[in-house]
Structure 1
Amino acid sequence: MNHANATPRARYARHLPLAVIACVAIAGAILLGDMVSFDTLRTHREALMAFRDGHLGVLTLAFVVVYFGIVAFSLPGGAVASVTGGFLFGLMLGTLLNLAGASLGAIAIFAAARMGLGRMLATRIEASDGTLKRIKDGLLEHEVSVLLLMRLIPIVPFFVANLLPALVGVRFFNYAWTTVLGIVPGTLVYAWVGVGLGEVFDRGEDPDLSLLWEPQIIAPILGLCVLAALPILVRKLRAKKVA
Protein backbone atom coordinates (compact mmCIF):
# COMPACT_ATOMS: atom_id res chain seq x y z
CA MET A 1 0.00 0.00 0.00
CA ASN A 2 1.41 3.39 -0.97
CA HIS A 3 2.01 5.72 1.97
CA ALA A 4 0.17 8.60 0.30
CA ASN A 5 -2.92 6.45 -0.38
CA ALA A 6 -3.03 4.72 3.01
CA THR A 7 -6.07 5.27 5.18
CA PRO A 8 -5.58 7.31 8.39
CA ARG A 9 -6.02 4.12 10.44
CA ALA A 10 -3.32 2.33 8.44
CA ARG A 11 -0.96 5.29 8.80
CA TYR A 12 -1.46 5.38 12.56
CA ALA A 13 -1.04 1.59 12.78
CA ARG A 14 2.41 1.88 11.18
CA HIS A 15 3.54 4.16 13.99
CA LEU A 16 2.09 1.99 16.75
CA PRO A 17 5.12 -0.34 17.29
CA LEU A 18 7.53 2.58 17.61
CA ALA A 19 5.09 4.44 19.87
CA VAL A 20 4.87 1.39 22.13
CA ILE A 21 8.66 1.16 22.25
CA ALA A 22 8.92 4.85 23.16
CA CYS A 23 6.33 4.52 25.94
CA VAL A 24 7.97 1.41 27.41
CA ALA A 25 11.40 3.07 27.18
CA ILE A 26 10.19 6.11 29.13
CA ALA A 27 8.44 3.96 31.73
CA GLY A 28 11.51 1.73 32.02
CA ALA A 29 13.85 4.67 32.52
CA ILE A 30 11.64 5.89 35.37
CA LEU A 31 10.81 2.57 37.04
CA LEU A 32 13.88 0.43 36.39
CA GLY A 33 16.68 2.95 36.74
CA ASP A 34 18.15 1.44 39.93
CA MET A 35 16.80 -2.09 39.66
CA VAL A 36 19.05 -3.40 36.89
CA SER A 37 22.41 -2.93 38.57
CA PHE A 38 25.43 -4.83 39.79
CA ASP A 39 24.11 -4.47 43.35
CA THR A 40 20.95 -6.34 42.32
CA LEU A 41 23.05 -9.01 40.64
CA ARG A 42 25.22 -9.33 43.75
CA THR A 43 22.14 -9.70 45.95
CA HIS A 44 20.62 -12.48 43.82
CA ARG A 45 23.92 -14.07 42.84
CA GLU A 46 23.53 -17.34 44.70
CA ALA A 47 19.90 -17.83 43.65
CA LEU A 48 20.73 -17.24 39.99
CA MET A 49 23.65 -19.65 40.02
CA ALA A 50 21.58 -22.31 41.77
CA PHE A 51 18.80 -21.90 39.22
CA ARG A 52 21.35 -22.09 36.39
CA ASP A 53 22.76 -25.34 37.73
CA GLY A 54 19.29 -26.90 37.88
CA HIS A 55 17.58 -25.30 34.87
CA LEU A 56 20.23 -24.23 32.38
CA GLY A 57 17.94 -24.35 29.34
CA VAL A 58 15.21 -22.29 30.98
CA LEU A 59 17.67 -19.67 32.24
CA THR A 60 19.35 -19.50 28.84
CA LEU A 61 16.04 -18.75 27.11
CA ALA A 62 14.98 -16.31 29.84
CA PHE A 63 18.28 -14.45 29.58
CA VAL A 64 17.96 -13.99 25.81
CA VAL A 65 14.35 -12.81 26.19
CA VAL A 66 15.30 -10.29 28.90
CA TYR A 67 18.28 -9.04 26.90
CA PHE A 68 16.06 -8.75 23.82
CA GLY A 69 13.59 -6.66 25.82
CA ILE A 70 16.32 -4.37 27.17
CA VAL A 71 17.60 -3.62 23.66
CA ALA A 72 14.29 -3.55 21.80
CA PHE A 73 12.74 -1.13 24.31
CA SER A 74 15.96 0.81 25.00
CA LEU A 75 15.71 0.00 28.70
CA PRO A 76 18.50 0.70 31.20
CA GLY A 77 20.86 -2.11 32.09
CA GLY A 78 22.44 -3.17 28.81
CA ALA A 79 25.97 -3.20 30.22
CA VAL A 80 24.87 -5.10 33.34
CA ALA A 81 23.07 -7.67 31.19
CA SER A 82 26.13 -8.13 28.98
CA VAL A 83 28.41 -8.72 31.96
CA THR A 84 25.82 -11.05 33.49
CA GLY A 85 25.97 -13.21 30.37
CA GLY A 86 29.63 -13.98 31.01
CA PHE A 87 29.06 -14.33 34.75
CA LEU A 88 26.31 -16.94 34.45
CA PHE A 89 27.27 -18.80 31.29
CA GLY A 90 31.01 -18.39 30.79
CA LEU A 91 32.91 -16.67 28.01
CA MET A 92 31.79 -18.55 24.90
CA LEU A 93 28.15 -19.28 25.72
CA GLY A 94 27.79 -15.89 27.41
CA THR A 95 29.08 -14.13 24.31
CA LEU A 96 26.72 -16.08 22.06
CA LEU A 97 23.71 -15.32 24.27
CA ASN A 98 24.65 -11.64 24.51
CA LEU A 99 24.98 -11.58 20.75
CA ALA A 100 21.61 -13.26 20.22
CA GLY A 101 19.68 -10.99 22.59
CA ALA A 102 21.32 -7.78 21.40
CA SER A 103 21.01 -8.61 17.69
CA LEU A 104 17.37 -9.66 17.87
CA GLY A 105 16.49 -6.58 19.92
CA ALA A 106 18.30 -4.29 17.49
CA ILE A 107 16.52 -5.87 14.53
CA ALA A 108 13.15 -5.48 16.27
CA ILE A 109 13.59 -1.76 16.93
CA PHE A 110 14.88 -1.26 13.38
CA ALA A 111 11.77 -2.95 11.98
CA ALA A 112 9.49 -0.84 14.19
CA ALA A 113 11.18 2.39 13.17
CA ARG A 114 11.28 1.43 9.49
CA MET A 115 7.58 0.60 9.54
CA GLY A 116 6.61 4.01 10.93
CA LEU A 117 8.80 7.08 10.95
CA GLY A 118 11.49 5.47 8.84
CA ARG A 119 9.26 4.90 5.83
CA MET A 120 7.80 8.41 5.99
CA LEU A 121 11.12 10.17 6.59
CA ALA A 122 12.99 8.19 3.92
CA THR A 123 10.30 9.09 1.37
CA ARG A 124 10.50 12.77 2.23
CA ILE A 125 14.30 12.82 2.13
CA GLU A 126 14.28 11.05 -1.23
CA ALA A 127 11.91 13.70 -2.63
CA SER A 128 14.10 16.57 -1.43
CA ASP A 129 17.22 18.05 -3.00
CA GLY A 130 18.84 19.43 0.12
CA THR A 131 21.60 18.48 2.53
CA LEU A 132 19.65 15.57 4.03
CA LYS A 133 19.34 13.98 0.59
CA ARG A 134 23.10 14.26 0.04
CA ILE A 135 23.81 12.79 3.47
CA LYS A 136 21.45 9.89 2.81
CA ASP A 137 22.97 9.22 -0.62
CA GLY A 138 26.47 9.29 0.86
CA LEU A 139 25.48 6.88 3.60
CA LEU A 140 23.83 4.46 1.20
CA GLU A 141 26.86 4.61 -1.09
CA HIS A 142 29.06 3.38 1.77
CA GLU A 143 26.30 1.53 3.58
CA VAL A 144 28.16 -1.50 4.90
CA SER A 145 31.22 0.46 6.02
CA VAL A 146 29.13 3.09 7.82
CA LEU A 147 26.97 0.47 9.54
CA LEU A 148 30.02 -1.42 10.75
CA LEU A 149 31.65 1.77 12.01
CA MET A 150 28.51 2.70 13.94
CA ARG A 151 28.70 -0.65 15.72
CA LEU A 152 32.44 -0.71 16.29
CA ILE A 153 33.07 2.86 17.46
CA PRO A 154 32.54 2.76 21.25
CA ILE A 155 31.21 6.34 21.53
CA VAL A 156 28.17 5.72 19.30
CA PRO A 157 25.17 4.95 21.58
CA PHE A 158 23.60 1.59 20.80
CA PHE A 159 20.08 2.99 20.38
CA VAL A 160 21.38 5.56 17.86
CA ALA A 161 22.97 2.78 15.81
CA ASN A 162 19.61 0.97 15.95
CA LEU A 163 17.35 3.85 14.94
CA LEU A 164 19.34 6.02 12.56
CA PRO A 165 19.76 3.40 9.81
CA ALA A 166 16.00 2.76 9.80
CA LEU A 167 15.27 6.47 9.43
CA VAL A 168 17.46 6.89 6.35
CA GLY A 169 16.39 3.74 4.53
CA VAL A 170 19.35 1.35 4.66
CA ARG A 171 18.81 -2.20 3.44
CA PHE A 172 17.49 -4.57 6.08
CA PHE A 173 19.86 -7.41 5.15
CA ASN A 174 22.93 -5.16 5.42
CA TYR A 175 21.70 -3.77 8.73
CA ALA A 176 21.12 -7.24 10.15
CA TRP A 177 24.44 -8.85 9.29
CA THR A 178 26.55 -5.78 10.12
CA THR A 179 24.79 -5.59 13.49
CA VAL A 180 25.62 -9.21 14.31
CA LEU A 181 29.22 -8.90 13.14
CA GLY A 182 29.82 -5.40 14.47
CA ILE A 183 28.81 -6.08 18.07
CA VAL A 184 30.92 -9.23 18.43
CA PRO A 185 33.96 -7.41 19.90
CA GLY A 186 31.87 -5.55 22.48
CA THR A 187 29.84 -8.57 23.56
CA LEU A 188 33.02 -10.63 23.86
CA VAL A 189 34.71 -8.03 26.08
CA TYR A 190 31.67 -7.65 28.35
CA ALA A 191 31.33 -11.42 28.71
CA TRP A 192 35.03 -11.62 29.54
CA VAL A 193 34.52 -9.07 32.32
CA GLY A 194 31.60 -11.16 33.59
CA VAL A 195 33.71 -14.31 33.84
CA GLY A 196 35.70 -12.74 36.67
CA LEU A 197 32.72 -11.07 38.32
CA GLY A 198 32.46 -13.60 41.15
CA GLU A 199 35.92 -12.69 42.42
CA VAL A 200 35.06 -8.99 42.16
CA PHE A 201 31.93 -9.53 44.26
CA ASP A 202 33.91 -11.52 46.80
CA ARG A 203 36.12 -8.45 47.30
CA GLY A 204 33.02 -6.31 47.81
CA GLU A 205 33.68 -4.32 44.64
CA ASP A 206 31.88 -3.52 41.38
CA PRO A 207 33.39 -4.46 38.01
CA ASP A 208 35.61 -1.78 36.50
CA LEU A 209 34.18 -1.21 33.02
CA SER A 210 36.79 1.48 32.36
CA LEU A 211 39.10 -1.37 31.30
CA LEU A 212 37.20 -1.28 28.00
CA TRP A 213 39.35 1.75 27.21
CA GLU A 214 42.62 0.03 28.07
CA PRO A 215 45.05 0.00 25.10
CA GLN A 216 45.05 -3.77 24.78
CA ILE A 217 41.23 -3.72 24.47
CA ILE A 218 40.52 -0.56 22.51
CA ALA A 219 43.43 -0.88 20.06
CA PRO A 220 42.10 -4.00 18.26
CA ILE A 221 38.61 -2.43 18.08
CA LEU A 222 40.04 0.75 16.56
CA GLY A 223 41.95 -1.45 14.12
CA LEU A 224 38.66 -3.00 13.03
CA CYS A 225 37.26 0.54 12.63
CA VAL A 226 40.13 1.37 10.27
CA LEU A 227 39.41 -1.77 8.23
CA ALA A 228 35.71 -0.89 8.07
CA ALA A 229 36.52 2.65 6.92
CA LEU A 230 39.07 1.51 4.33
CA PRO A 231 36.54 1.00 1.48
CA ILE A 232 35.28 4.56 1.95
CA LEU A 233 38.83 5.93 1.72
CA VAL A 234 39.63 3.82 -1.36
CA ARG A 235 36.49 5.05 -3.17
CA LYS A 236 37.33 8.65 -2.34
CA LEU A 237 40.86 8.27 -3.67
CA ARG A 238 39.63 6.62 -6.86
CA ALA A 239 37.06 9.37 -7.38
CA LYS A 240 39.81 12.02 -7.07
CA LYS A 241 41.97 10.21 -9.62
CA VAL A 242 39.09 10.00 -12.08
CA ALA A 243 38.32 13.70 -11.56
Structure 2
Amino acid sequence: MRRYVKHFLPLGMLVVALVLAIVFDLPRYARLDALREHREALLAFVAARPLAAPLAFLGVYAGWVALSIPGAFLLTVVAGFLFGTLLGGAVVVIAGTLGATIIFLAVRYAFADLLRAYAGRWLGKLQAGFNRNAFSYLLVLRLAPVFPFFAVNIAPAFLDVRAGTFFAATFIGIIPACFVYASVGAGLGSILDAGGELDAGSVLTPEVILALSALAALSLLPVVLKRFRRD
Protein backbone atom coordinates (compact mmCIF):
# COMPACT_ATOMS: atom_id res chain seq x y z
CA MET A 1 0.00 0.00 0.00
CA ARG A 2 2.82 2.39 0.87
CA ARG A 3 4.42 1.72 -2.51
CA TYR A 4 1.18 2.53 -4.35
CA VAL A 5 0.74 5.73 -2.35
CA LYS A 6 4.28 6.77 -3.31
CA HIS A 7 3.62 6.04 -6.98
CA PHE A 8 0.36 8.00 -7.04
CA LEU A 9 1.77 10.99 -5.13
CA PRO A 10 2.97 13.03 -8.18
CA LEU A 11 -0.29 12.45 -10.05
CA GLY A 12 -2.28 13.17 -6.91
CA MET A 13 -0.49 16.49 -6.48
CA LEU A 14 -1.38 17.44 -10.05
CA VAL A 15 -5.02 16.48 -9.46
CA VAL A 16 -5.16 18.59 -6.29
CA ALA A 17 -3.60 21.52 -8.14
CA LEU A 18 -6.15 21.08 -10.95
CA VAL A 19 -9.04 21.12 -8.47
CA LEU A 20 -7.67 24.31 -6.92
CA ALA A 21 -7.31 25.85 -10.37
CA ILE A 22 -10.96 25.08 -11.09
CA VAL A 23 -12.11 26.34 -7.69
CA PHE A 24 -10.31 29.66 -8.25
CA ASP A 25 -11.53 29.74 -11.87
CA LEU A 26 -8.10 30.07 -13.45
CA PRO A 27 -9.49 29.22 -16.93
CA ARG A 28 -11.10 32.68 -16.96
CA TYR A 29 -7.64 34.15 -17.54
CA ALA A 30 -7.36 32.23 -20.81
CA ARG A 31 -10.12 34.28 -22.40
CA LEU A 32 -9.89 37.24 -24.74
CA ASP A 33 -11.85 39.45 -22.33
CA ALA A 34 -9.21 38.91 -19.66
CA LEU A 35 -6.48 39.86 -22.12
CA ARG A 36 -8.38 43.04 -23.02
CA GLU A 37 -8.67 43.93 -19.34
CA HIS A 38 -5.02 43.30 -18.46
CA ARG A 39 -3.47 44.19 -21.83
CA GLU A 40 -1.61 47.33 -20.78
CA ALA A 41 -0.34 45.82 -17.53
CA LEU A 42 1.01 42.76 -19.35
CA LEU A 43 2.74 44.81 -22.03
CA ALA A 44 4.26 47.06 -19.38
CA PHE A 45 5.54 44.03 -17.47
CA VAL A 46 7.14 42.59 -20.62
CA ALA A 47 8.75 45.94 -21.46
CA ALA A 48 10.11 46.38 -17.93
CA ARG A 49 11.37 42.80 -17.55
CA PRO A 50 12.41 41.49 -20.98
CA LEU A 51 14.19 38.46 -19.49
CA ALA A 52 11.97 37.61 -16.54
CA ALA A 53 8.69 37.95 -18.47
CA PRO A 54 9.32 35.10 -20.97
CA LEU A 55 10.56 32.86 -18.15
CA ALA A 56 7.51 33.64 -16.03
CA PHE A 57 5.22 32.94 -18.99
CA LEU A 58 7.09 29.70 -19.66
CA GLY A 59 6.45 28.53 -16.10
CA VAL A 60 2.76 29.46 -16.22
CA TYR A 61 2.28 27.76 -19.58
CA ALA A 62 4.10 24.58 -18.52
CA GLY A 63 1.94 24.36 -15.39
CA TRP A 64 -1.19 25.01 -17.45
CA VAL A 65 -0.38 22.10 -19.77
CA ALA A 66 0.68 19.80 -16.93
CA LEU A 67 -2.67 20.36 -15.23
CA SER A 68 -4.56 19.97 -18.55
CA ILE A 69 -6.48 23.22 -17.97
CA PRO A 70 -8.50 24.32 -21.02
CA GLY A 71 -7.31 27.44 -22.81
CA ALA A 72 -3.77 26.59 -23.93
CA PHE A 73 -4.67 27.68 -27.47
CA LEU A 74 -5.33 31.27 -26.41
CA LEU A 75 -2.24 31.29 -24.19
CA THR A 76 -0.20 30.32 -27.25
CA VAL A 77 -1.70 33.24 -29.16
CA VAL A 78 -0.99 35.53 -26.20
CA ALA A 79 2.66 34.44 -26.28
CA GLY A 80 2.90 35.73 -29.83
CA PHE A 81 1.14 38.94 -28.81
CA LEU A 82 3.51 39.59 -25.90
CA PHE A 83 6.82 38.37 -27.31
CA GLY A 84 6.43 38.21 -31.08
CA THR A 85 6.26 35.19 -33.35
CA LEU A 86 9.79 33.84 -32.92
CA LEU A 87 10.32 34.29 -29.16
CA GLY A 88 6.66 33.60 -28.34
CA GLY A 89 6.63 30.43 -30.43
CA ALA A 90 9.91 29.23 -28.91
CA VAL A 91 8.69 29.83 -25.35
CA VAL A 92 5.49 27.91 -26.02
CA VAL A 93 7.29 24.96 -27.65
CA ILE A 94 9.60 24.59 -24.65
CA ALA A 95 6.86 25.15 -22.07
CA GLY A 96 4.38 22.87 -23.83
CA THR A 97 6.95 20.09 -24.07
CA LEU A 98 7.86 20.41 -20.38
CA GLY A 99 4.24 20.48 -19.24
CA ALA A 100 3.29 17.52 -21.42
CA THR A 101 6.26 15.52 -20.15
CA ILE A 102 5.35 16.26 -16.53
CA ILE A 103 1.83 14.85 -16.83
CA PHE A 104 3.10 11.94 -18.97
CA LEU A 105 5.67 10.94 -16.34
CA ALA A 106 3.19 11.38 -13.47
CA VAL A 107 0.64 9.09 -15.13
CA ARG A 108 3.23 6.52 -16.16
CA TYR A 109 4.79 6.45 -12.69
CA ALA A 110 1.38 6.04 -11.07
CA PHE A 111 0.18 3.15 -13.21
CA ALA A 112 3.41 1.40 -14.22
CA ASP A 113 3.22 -1.37 -11.60
CA LEU A 114 -0.51 -1.90 -12.12
CA LEU A 115 -0.07 -2.24 -15.86
CA ARG A 116 2.73 -4.75 -15.48
CA ALA A 117 0.72 -6.75 -12.97
CA TYR A 118 -2.68 -6.78 -14.64
CA ALA A 119 -2.16 -5.98 -18.31
CA GLY A 120 -3.44 -8.68 -20.59
CA ARG A 121 -1.75 -10.12 -23.63
CA TRP A 122 -3.57 -7.69 -25.92
CA LEU A 123 -2.07 -4.70 -24.12
CA GLY A 124 1.38 -6.24 -24.32
CA LYS A 125 1.00 -6.66 -28.08
CA LEU A 126 -0.30 -3.11 -28.40
CA GLN A 127 2.65 -1.78 -26.43
CA ALA A 128 5.14 -3.75 -28.50
CA GLY A 129 3.59 -2.65 -31.77
CA PHE A 130 3.41 1.00 -30.78
CA ASN A 131 6.92 1.10 -29.36
CA ARG A 132 8.51 -0.28 -32.51
CA ASN A 133 7.69 3.03 -34.16
CA ALA A 134 6.81 5.16 -31.14
CA PHE A 135 8.57 8.32 -32.33
CA SER A 136 6.81 8.34 -35.72
CA TYR A 137 3.41 7.54 -34.22
CA LEU A 138 3.74 10.25 -31.59
CA LEU A 139 4.88 12.72 -34.22
CA VAL A 140 1.72 12.02 -36.20
CA LEU A 141 -0.43 12.51 -33.11
CA ARG A 142 1.27 15.82 -32.37
CA LEU A 143 1.19 17.16 -35.91
CA ALA A 144 -2.34 16.15 -36.87
CA PRO A 145 -4.74 18.88 -35.67
CA VAL A 146 -7.50 16.39 -34.80
CA PHE A 147 -6.14 14.77 -31.63
CA PRO A 148 -6.69 16.55 -28.26
CA PHE A 149 -3.36 17.66 -26.82
CA PHE A 150 -4.12 16.46 -23.29
CA ALA A 151 -5.13 12.99 -24.56
CA VAL A 152 -1.84 12.60 -26.42
CA ASN A 153 -0.03 13.55 -23.21
CA ILE A 154 -1.66 10.73 -21.27
CA ALA A 155 -2.25 7.83 -23.68
CA PRO A 156 1.45 7.03 -24.33
CA ALA A 157 1.96 6.62 -20.57
CA PHE A 158 -0.11 3.43 -20.75
CA LEU A 159 1.94 2.12 -23.68
CA ASP A 160 5.30 2.18 -21.89
CA VAL A 161 6.76 4.79 -24.24
CA ARG A 162 10.25 5.96 -23.30
CA ALA A 163 10.40 9.41 -21.74
CA GLY A 164 13.11 10.54 -24.19
CA THR A 165 11.03 9.44 -27.16
CA PHE A 166 7.96 11.21 -25.81
CA PHE A 167 9.92 14.40 -25.13
CA ALA A 168 11.58 14.51 -28.55
CA ALA A 169 8.42 13.71 -30.52
CA THR A 170 6.44 16.27 -28.55
CA PHE A 171 9.07 18.98 -28.95
CA ILE A 172 9.34 18.50 -32.71
CA GLY A 173 5.68 17.75 -33.30
CA ILE A 174 4.24 20.88 -31.70
CA ILE A 175 6.60 23.32 -33.42
CA PRO A 176 4.45 24.01 -36.53
CA ALA A 177 1.17 24.66 -34.71
CA CYS A 178 2.82 26.70 -31.95
CA PHE A 179 4.45 29.06 -34.43
CA VAL A 180 1.25 29.34 -36.47
CA TYR A 181 -0.69 30.34 -33.34
CA ALA A 182 2.09 32.68 -32.19
CA SER A 183 2.10 34.40 -35.59
CA VAL A 184 -1.62 35.02 -35.17
CA GLY A 185 -0.90 36.48 -31.75
CA ALA A 186 1.62 38.89 -33.22
CA GLY A 187 -1.31 40.59 -34.94
CA LEU A 188 -3.75 40.20 -32.07
CA GLY A 189 -3.65 43.89 -31.21
CA SER A 190 -5.88 44.78 -34.15
CA ILE A 191 -8.43 42.16 -33.09
CA LEU A 192 -8.49 43.54 -29.55
CA ASP A 193 -8.84 47.09 -30.81
CA ALA A 194 -11.77 46.09 -33.03
CA GLY A 195 -13.46 44.17 -30.22
CA GLY A 196 -13.34 40.98 -32.27
CA GLU A 197 -13.27 37.37 -31.12
CA LEU A 198 -10.80 34.58 -31.77
CA ASP A 199 -11.01 30.80 -31.64
CA ALA A 200 -9.08 27.82 -32.92
CA GLY A 201 -11.48 27.39 -35.82
CA SER A 202 -10.59 30.80 -37.23
CA VAL A 203 -6.87 29.97 -37.08
CA LEU A 204 -7.00 26.39 -38.33
CA THR A 205 -8.00 27.30 -41.86
CA PRO A 206 -8.26 24.55 -44.49
CA GLU A 207 -4.80 25.53 -45.75
CA VAL A 208 -3.24 25.21 -42.29
CA ILE A 209 -5.01 21.91 -41.64
CA LEU A 210 -3.83 20.57 -45.00
CA ALA A 211 -0.24 21.60 -44.29
CA LEU A 212 -0.22 20.03 -40.82
CA SER A 213 -1.89 16.87 -42.14
CA ALA A 214 0.75 16.62 -44.88
CA LEU A 215 3.51 16.87 -42.27
CA ALA A 216 1.76 14.20 -40.19
CA ALA A 217 1.53 11.89 -43.21
CA LEU A 218 5.18 12.55 -44.02
CA SER A 219 6.20 11.56 -40.51
CA LEU A 220 4.71 8.10 -41.14
CA LEU A 221 7.07 7.52 -44.05
CA PRO A 222 9.72 5.73 -41.93
CA VAL A 223 7.06 3.30 -40.65
CA VAL A 224 5.86 2.58 -44.19
CA LEU A 225 9.41 2.05 -45.46
CA LYS A 226 10.28 -0.22 -42.55
CA ARG A 227 7.21 -2.36 -43.17
CA PHE A 228 7.88 -2.40 -46.92
CA ARG A 229 11.44 -3.65 -46.36
CA ARG A 230 10.24 -6.30 -43.93
CA ASP A 231 7.69 -7.57 -46.44
Normalised by the shorter chain, which TM-score bucket? over 0.9
Query: Stretches of 4+ moved more than 3 A in 1?
Result: 235-239
**Structure 1 pair 199–122 and aligned structure 2 pair: CA distance change class (3 A):** farther
Q: Give the corresponding residue for 1:182.
A: 173
Contact 2:126 2:159 in 1 (8 A): no
Question: What value does the CA root-mean-square deviation take over the aligned residues?
Answer: 1.7
Q: Give the corresponding residue for 1:4.
A: none
Give the TM-score, by structure 2 length. Answer: 0.92
User: Which of 188, 195, 201 is 1:204 aligned to?
Assistant: 195
Q: Which amino acid aligns with 1:120?
A: L
Contact 1:49 1:88 in 2 (8 A): yes
Contact 2:54 2:91 in 1 (8 A): yes
**Structure 1 pair 192–228 and aligned structure 2 pair: CA distance change class (3 A):** same
Question: How far did 1:19 drift?
Answer: 1.4
Structure 2: distance between partners of 1:90 and 1:65: 18
Q: Deviations over 1:121-158 (max 9, x none)?
A: 25533xx32x2222222111221111111111111111
Contact 2:184 2:203 in 1 (8 A): no
Q: Is 1:133 equivalent to 2:133 in the alignment? A: no
More displaced 10-residue stretch of structure 1: 85-94 or 115-124: 115-124
Structure 2 residues without counterparts, runs of 5 or longer? none
Following superposition of structure 1 onto structure 2, how do residues 64-79 of structure 1 map, counting pairs within 5 Å? 64-79=58-73
Q: Is 1:20 equivalent to 2:13 in the alignment? A: yes
Structure 2: distance between partners of 1:236 and 1:173: 24
Question: How far did 1:75 drift?
Answer: 1.5
Following superposition of structure 1 onto structure 2, how do residues 158-237 of structure 1 map, counting pairs within 5 Å? 158-237=149-228
Q: Give the corresponding residue for 1:10.
A: 3
Structure 2: distance between partners of 1:123 and 1:93: 45
Structure 1 residues without counterparts, runs of 5 or longer? 1-7
**Structure 1 pair 212–123 and aligned structure 2 pair: CA distance change class (3 A):** farther
User: Which of 112, 117, 132 is 2:106 aligned to?
Assistant: 112
Contact 2:93 2:178 in 1 (8 A): yes
Question: How far did 1:50 drift?
Answer: 1.1
Question: How far did 1:187 drift?
Answer: 0.6
Q: Deviations over 1:29-76 (max 9, x none)?
A: 452243321110111101111111111112111101100110111112
* Secondary structure at the counterpart of residue 146 of structure 2: coil
Q: Which amino acid aligns with 2:78?
A: T
Give the TM-score, by structure 1 length. Answer: 0.88
More displaced 10-residue stretch of structure 1: 93-102 or 27-36: 27-36
Number of residue-to-residue matches in the alignment: 230
